[in-house]
Amino acid sequence: MAQAAAVAKPPAPPRRRRTSATPRRLPYLLIAPAAVLMLGFIAYPVLSVFYYSLQEYNPTKPWRNGFAGLDNFVRIFTDDPLFWDSLVFSAKWVFVEVGLQLLFGLALALIVNQTFVGRGLGRALVFSPWAVSGVLTSAIWVLLYNSQTGITRYLADVGIGSYGTSWLSDTGTVFWAAIVADLWRGVPFFAILILADLQSVSKDLYEAAEVDGASRIKQFWHITLPHLKDAIILSTLLRAVWEFNNVDLLYTLTGGGPAGVTTTLPLYVASTSVESHNFGYASALTTVAFVILLFCSIVYLRLSKFGGENK
Amino acid sequence: MSTKVAAKAAPAPAPAAPEPPRPVRTSRRAWDEAPRWQIYLPLGIYLVFTLIPFYWILLFSLRPAGSTSLVPWPMTFDHFEKVWTERSFGVYFQNSVLVGIATLVMTTLVALAGGYALARFNFRIKQLFMLALLCSQFVPGALLLVPLFEIFAELQMINSLGSVIIAETVFQLPLSMILISNFIKNVPYSLEEAAWVDGCNRFKAFRIVVLPLLRPGLIAVGSFAFVHSWNHFLFALMFLNNQQKQTIPVGLNTLMGADSVDLGALAAGGIIAAVPVVIVFAFIQKWLITGFSAGAVKG
């Protein structure tokens, strides 16, 4: 059905082409729909966030609305412990998630890249959580973690831990409980990307290394890892941005709690704008988040020498 | 034991016939000679971690409320019935399907047009446009909720599925377009030129020559768009306040947010949410891992 629809769309350009004779306008016509959508629903909102960040803007307190200069930003950096808490938690979350996902994803990709009996089934099963949504992941882990009939009950049955433990409502365990839930779904993402890139390693290299007597560990360090370098850099960066912005899972699993200990910066922004309707301040927070993301991305690409001499 | 012998024996013919145009699949790599336990043991441990959550949700959805049995017996479908009718998952399901398919169609069409322009033409704002596509990857939809809400309010589209469809499409577009333009670049331009010589116009040449070769790539891009919009939660949560208009993830969130969570209903709702994704996933898996374009352009 998508196929039929895909065929149906492009007729507009050639008709135009015949009237204008030159295909010079054609590329512009072709990118026009995408450009309009992105200007209207990405560029314009971004600009309006920048604009509102300089405003006092709260629909529930309209009498105070107006130009605020840098007041919002001053307040963020000098008078908002919640901002710093959420920023620190975001950094911790991104760092631990991406690090562990890369580690396990790489190991998993190397394993399922081997030839063994049942490889197809193994791959399908191992990758399956990839397509599960953040909300569904939360639903599953809420079932696993619940204090009455969750996994802790059965662990307590065999003498591990105690009955009635709820990992999600204890400030000491909630971080790792959420990390594990997100790893469950995030590791396959890395494994899939790395596995796809492993397909393009030249087999001659391994054969040559074999002839030279290189051990498998040496082959990994000197052939596989350099080959994967760019893919790893790109996927860790994309994943870091994605994890930074990951709202679905934490919003539904912990709601930023208990006692705010799992509130990331985007969750803090969402609660500032949705619950307290402070759009101006939320926009300033968003602007700060953009700048931090952009800065970290540039530093990361520089430091890792992406696309550099190793190719 | 026998597999080990086979693995040992296999590399023997390889040095004897080292010429490159050997069929790719038959030659075994040195890398493949890992001891079997080094494969099955970590894989097995990881599979336990992967599969227990799936088993858990299946178990909760099938066993009667209040049961603590670890096998879903006696089996009941009460939770599914309840969630589908009382909790409106039937309605949510329809809405989600509608949003998913509309997003798939719009994303694929718009990205196909744009991707073709990027792959086949040099035009003045091309570099700028590419830069915009890449930058948009860093723009989190979650942080744009407020201005997007205001735009859709202005357009009178709050509480209409159209707002969610547009928002999902817009955030799917950049990556889809980059992917599709790469797929198109992998199709030799000379194939198209040959079709022009044979009297096709540009569109007809595209349709007859390029489009069939793009099929695997389009399937992958379209499936991503569908799965992504099926799974995504925030836009629907923000833009759709009317309960009759909401989607499955919002419904799941409502089930979780209740004061005393009905675990059976939550589990059944989760299974309903997972089924279409599992089907799509099974369908696209082979395109996902093998480089799809490589084999397609042999002729």
Q: In sequence order, which ranges of B19-144 are alpha helices (DSSP H)?
A: 36-62, 78-85, 89-120, 126-136
Q: In angstroms, what separates the C-alpha of B139 from chain A's closest C-alpha? A: 7
- Closest residue of chain B to A288, computed from CA coordinates: B143
Of A79, A269, A254, nearest in space to A176 by CA? A254
Q: Give the confidence band of A17 by pLDDT, cuts at 50, 70, 90.
A: very low
Q: What is the pLDDT of residue A178?
A: 93
- The mean of the pLDDT values for chain B is 81
On the 0-12 / 13-18 / 19+ scale of CB atoms within 10 A, B14 is middle
Q: Which of B143, B211, B256 to mutate to test the interface with A (most CBs of A within 10 A)?
A: B143
CB contact under 8 A, B281 and A41: no
> Above 70 in pLDDT, residue B14?
no
> Above 70 in pLDDT, residue B10?
no
CB nearest A135 (choices: B56, B233, B261) = B233
CB contact under 8 A, A10 and B253: no
- Closest residue of chain A to B56, computed from CA coordinates: A144
Task: Give whichever of A271-285, B156-170, B215-229 has the largest mean pLDDT.
Answer: B156-170
d(CA B240, CA B257): 17
d(CA B211, CA B217): 10
Q: What is the pLDDT of residue B295?
A: 34
- Cβ atoms of A183 and A128 within 8 Å: the answer is no
Q: In angstroms, what separates the C-alpha of B270 from chain A's closest C-alpha? A: 6
- Cβ atoms of A145 and A138 within 8 Å: the answer is no
Beta carbon pairs, A and B, within 8 Å: 293
Q: What is the pLDDT of residue B287?
A: 67
Question: What domains, with CATH codes, occur in chain A?
Answer: 1-41 (no CATH), 82-303 (1.10.3720.10)
Q: Give the confidence band of B133 by pLDDT, cuts at 50, 70, 90.
A: confident
The β-bridge partners of A66 are A56
> pLDDT for A141-184, tens place per residue?
988 888 877 888 888 888 777 777 788 888 888 999 999 999 99
Of B233, B208, B267, nearest in space to A247 by CA? B233
d(CA B156, CA B163): 9
> pLDDT for B68-100, tens place per residue?
778 887 888 888 998 898 888 999 999 999 999
Q: In angstroms, what separates the C-alpha of A207 from chain B's closest C-alpha? A: 6
> Above 60 in pLDDT, residue B203?
yes
CB contact under 8 A, A38 and B273: no
> pLDDT for A19-73, tens place per residue?
444 467 888 999 999 999 999 999 999 999 899 889 888 877 777 777 877 888 9
Q: What is the pLDDT of residue B110?
A: 95
B37 and chain A in contact, CB less than 8 A: no
Q: Give the confidence band of B15 by pLDDT, cuts at 50, 70, 90.
A: very low
Q: Give the confidence band of A238 by pLDDT, cuts at 50, 70, 90.
A: confident
Return the domain boundaries, chain B.
95-256+278-294
Q: What is the pLDDT of residue A18?
A: 43
| pTM reported for the whole predicted model | 0.80
- Closest residue of chain A to B27, computed from CA coordinates: A203
Q: What is the pLDDT of residue A7?
A: 44
CB nearest B110 (choices: A2, A33, A146) = A33
Q: In angstroms, what separates the C-alpha of A1 from chain B's closest C-alpha? A: 9
> pLDDT for B250-274, tens place per residue?
999 888 876 677 888 899 999 999 8
Beta-carbon count within 10 A of A41 CB: 23
Q: Which of B146, B176, B238 to mutate to test the interface with A (most CBs of A within 10 A)?
A: B146
Q: In A, which residues are within 8 Å of B3 by CB distance?
A: 116-117
B17 and chain A in contact, CB less than 8 A: no
> Above 70 in pLDDT, residue A116?
yes
CB nearest A125 (choices: B3, B51, B132) = B51
Q: Which of B43, B283, B285 to mutate to test the interface with A (most CBs of A within 10 A)?
A: B43
CB contact under 8 A, B30 and A7: no
**Residue of higher predicted confidence among B212 and B2:** B212
CB contact under 8 A, B278 and A128: yes
CB contact under 8 A, B282 and A124: yes
Q: What is the pLDDT of residue B290?
A: 52
> Above 60 in pLDDT, residue B234?
yes
Domain B95-256+278-294, CATH class in plain words = mainly alpha
CB nearest B142 (choices: A26, A270, A293) = A270
Q: What is the pLDDT of residue B67?
A: 77
Q: What is the pLDDT of residue B111?
A: 94
Q: Looking at chain B from residue 53 to 72, which residues have their Cβ under 8 Å from any Cβ of chain A?
A: 53-54, 56-57, 60, 68, 70
Q: In angstroms, what separates the C-alpha of A310 from chain B's closest C-alpha? A: 22
Q: In angstroms, what separates the C-alpha of A81 from chain B's closest C-alpha? A: 20
CB nearest B266 (choices: A114, A126, A139) = A139
